[in-house]
Structure 1
Amino acid sequence: MINLFKIKGQKKEEAASAAGKPPVKKQSAGELRLHKDISELNLPKTTSISFPNGKDDLMNFEIIIRPDEGYYIIFATSLSLSEFDFIFTVISRGGTFVFTFQVSPSYPHEPPKVKCKTKVYHPNIDLEGNVCLNILREDWKPVLNINTVIYGLNLLFTQPNDEDPLNHEAAVVLRDNPKMFEANVKRAMAGGYVGQHYFPRCA
């Protein structure tokens, strides 16, 4: 049987190349859905998005999270002198955590592949950057979207979960000694060793 739609598409491409235009690349259903998701993004104020390969490659992008509450912020004090007294200012500064997203053409029937590029001391992110988030695994459904994943990642920084860990050592410390966990997070974010592992500065 002759596929009329295929012939029509070929004729369109031939006409475009005859006119000196590059052939139009057909978008997959996954690309179309992702385009919709990105155009409807409602990012939290702690989050931004970037496209390292340019806007033509929507299937690979980065999400940057700078937490403003929870364990993953550092408080610093600055001192200034006025004519009559000292003024202490407390400044909170979040770490900067970069996540790469790789979206397959079969999206949304399979979740995006998400990795953390920033080495972080976290019970739900291992030292290779793998992320433990239920909606990226068994709880993924096609009705979910990129925005849902971004909110889930933000939640990891405000409510790290010691019950479903990838970094078991960090999970044990969080559960048994939250003060030590907080000190370890600050040490890692400032650039330093926690146990045998070195963490580059991210705050």
Structure 2
Amino acid sequence: MIKLFSLKQQKKDGEASPRTGNQKKASAAQLRITKDINELNLPKTCTTEFPDPDDLLNFKLVICPDEGFYRTGRFVFSFKVGPNYPHEPPKVKCETQVYHPNIDQQGNVCLNILREDWKPVLTINSIVYGLQYLFLEPNPEDPLNKEAAEVLTNNRRLFEQNVQKAIKGGYVGDSELQQHCVKIKQWKNYL
């Protein structure tokens, strides 16, 4: 069970007893993320995971699309909320290898609200819906993976085949070439 109200309870406990020198005050980022998570309204295709229930600044979002090109996949995103949140967006990385025009092989995500269009009034909920939308409507106009964007624009059938191949654990395009090169290097080291 996630301890969403732990910061509030700590504050109440602190008010009920005399202050001690080792008691920490919650930062603005911690207070805001607590509020955002309490107000989170996840679609049925999304879940959150908190590896450390006492650390709301680092968590995972799992998206399992039920329609579109990615309907059979399971995609995990890590969220790292910095001390300047909500004035700076959280750092979001895709931990799942995916063939997507807006997600590169290092897990970087091209979503405007994670960059230039971020505003402090936006919430974690806004990011969740933005990420989910990327799986429903990939955007080849603003790509991180130019090859996937080009295939989506020119051959939607091939794009869908590549997505399904990647979801099943296969390699597509440069990924396959890189994996092949790694195996060759390993083989040469063995000899």
Q: Same fold (TM over 0.5)?
A: yes
- Looking at structure 2, the residues matched to 108 and 129 of structure 1 have their Cα atoms a distance apart, in angstroms, of 22
Report what 1:183 is aligned to: 161
Q: 2:19 is aligned with what amino acid? A: K
Q: Does 1:68 align with 2:55?
A: no
Query: Deviation at 1:191?
Result: 1.4
Report what 2:92 is aligned to: 114
Report what 1:79 is aligned to: none
Query: Deviation at 1:105?
Result: 1.5
Report what 1:78 is aligned to: none
Query: Deviation at 1:24?
Result: 2.7
SS of the equivalent of 1:61 reads: strand
| Match 1:173 to one of 151, 156, 164 | 151
SS of the equivalent of 1:194 reads: coil
Query: Deviation at 1:56?
Result: 0.8
Q: 2:38 is aligned with what amino acid? A: S
Report matched runs for 1:123-162 at 5 Å.
123-162=101-140
- Looking at structure 1, the residues matched to 96 and 114 of structure 2 have their Cα atoms a distance apart, in angstroms, of 19
Report what 2:26 is aligned to: 27
Root-mean-square deviation (Å): 1.6
- Looking at structure 2, the residues matched to 108 and 188 of structure 1 have their Cα atoms a distance apart, in angstroms, of 34
Report what 2:54 is aligned to: 56
Q: Does 1:38 align with 2:16?
A: no
Q: 2:37 is aligned with what amino acid? A: I
- Looking at structure 1, the residues matched to 24 and 100 of structure 2 have their Cα atoms a distance apart, in angstroms, of 41
Query: Cα deviation per residue 1:68-94 (whole Å; 9 max; x = unaligned)?
Result: 000012xxxxxxxxxxxxxxxxxxxx2
Query: Deviation at 1:25?
Result: 2.1
Q: 1:114 is aligned with what amino acid? A: V
- Looking at structure 2, the residues matched to 109 and 124 of structure 1 have their Cα atoms a distance apart, in angstroms, of 24
Query: Cα deviation per residue 1:25-83 (whole Å; 9 max; x = unaligned)?
Result: 2110111011000001000000000111x21111000000000000012xxxxxxxxxx
- Looking at structure 2, the residues matched to 104 and 165 of structure 1 have their Cα atoms a distance apart, in angstroms, of 26
SS of the equivalent of 2:47 reads: strand
Higher strand share: 1
Uncovered stretches (5+) of structure 2, i.e. residues with no partner: 1-14, 177-191
Query: Deviation at 1:194?
Result: 1.1
Q: Does 1:12 align with 2:35?
A: no
Query: Deviation at 1:103?
Result: 0.3
Query: Deviation at 1:195?
Result: 2.1
Query: Deviation at 1:197?
Result: 1.3
Q: 2:63 is aligned with what amino acid? A: I
TM-score (norm 1): 0.76
- Looking at structure 1, the residues matched to 171 and 31 of structure 2 have their Cα atoms a distance apart, in angstroms, of 44
